Structure 1
Amino acid sequence: MTQDRTWLIVAGVLSALAALAHLAVIAGGPDWYRFFGAGEGMARAAERGELRPALITAGIAAILFVWAAYAFSAAGLIPRLPLLRTGLVAISAVYLLRALAPAAILLLRPGMMSPFWWWSSAIVLVYGLAYAIGTRAAWPRLSGAGQAL
């Protein structure tokens, strides 16, 4: 297995695990929303039995599963998805920009910093690097529509 495929498989597994964690939060209920940093508003809405927290969290999980599919597609594990290179660049960028969230919060709203922002940013930095490194390494192989991986 080539190194780019390894990075992309790792990236896909990480996104799939994040998606599963989001589904677990829905099942875990209000205390899980609090523990995973969703905010008191989401936790209280879940306590009241509102659908909004579950729908938002399920939507995030669905996006993360799609992102995992893009990594697996680029690694050659599933058929080629549309706009593969563009998608991988966008996914890398979103993860890496999210990793910068503590810096933005410190500048804009210093009172809102919490341990959640630090540890979650460190996690998504790893995700973003896996996508970016794998994408960069696979870039020549991923060019051209209809080419076999």
Structure 2
Amino acid sequence: MNEQPKQTALLTGAAISLFGAVIHWISPLLGPDWYAWLRAPKFVVESARAGTWLAPTCAALIGGLMFICALYAWSGMGRMARLPLPRTALVVIAAVGLLRGLALLPYAWNVPQLLDTFDVVGSLVWFVAGLGFAVGARQNWAGPARPARQAT
């Protein structure tokens, strides 16, 4: 089986996830306007303005989750040690990315006047990430889960 589509797809998912992690991790350094630009909930933006721990904690957690997605992509590519439940994780990450991307459709249908470039680009980017993880999951599912044991 050609490994190139899986490698490219998972590398794309990893890059998007890593970028998402970084922009969340730098949020506390860039302040409340950055949180607002990233579409953080109002209470998170208010937390950033008040200097409480809620905003940076949420940013760190979301960034951590995105970093874990990148780790699973690298693991799926064979670029690092195999992580637990790799196939399941890739499927779940793919589903979340695809759903995040498709969430734009009902929003566009019901309140198109509220859509802006950030919403459209964000949804497309996460849809592409979801596709990358889906291709990687499919190819990982088709291949062996673990190296075959040597006969002793």
* Same-fold call, TM cutoff 0.5: yes
The alignment status of 1:89 with 2:82, answered yes or no, reads no
Partner of 1:44: 46
1:89–1:5 distance in 2 versus 1, CA, 3 Å: same
Report the alpha carbon displacement of residue 14 of structure 1 after superposing the two structures with TM. 1.6
Give a deviation string over 1:95-120, Cα, whole Å, max 9, x none: 1001122223356x638933233221
Larger Rg: 2
Alignment of 1:1-149 (within 5 A): 2-106=4-108, 110=111, 113-115=114-116, 116-141=118-143, 143-144=144-145, 146-147=146-147
One-letter amino acid of the counterpart of residue 56, structure 1: C
Secondary structure of the corresponding residue to residue 11 of structure 1: helix
RMSD: 2.1
Give a deviation string over 1:56-102, Cα, whole Å, max 9, x none: 11101111111101000010000111110000000000010011222
**Distance (whole Å) between structure 1 residues aligned to residue 101 and residue 21 of structure 2:** 17
Count, aligned residues? 145
Report the alpha carbon displacement of residue 39 of structure 1 after superposing the two structures with TM. 3.6
1:7–1:111 distance in 2 versus 1, CA, 3 Å: closer
**Distance (whole Å) between structure 2 residues aligned to residue 26 and residue 130 of structure 1:** 29
Runs of 4+ in 1 over 4 A off after TM superposition: none
Identity %: 32
Q: TM-score, length-normalised on structure 2?
A: 0.84
Question: Any unmatched runs of 5+ in structure 1?
Answer: none
One-letter amino acid of the counterpart of residue 42, structure 1: V
Question: Any unmatched runs of 5+ in structure 2?
Answer: none
- The question of whether the paired residues in 2 share the 8 Å contact of 1:5 and 1:138 is answered with no
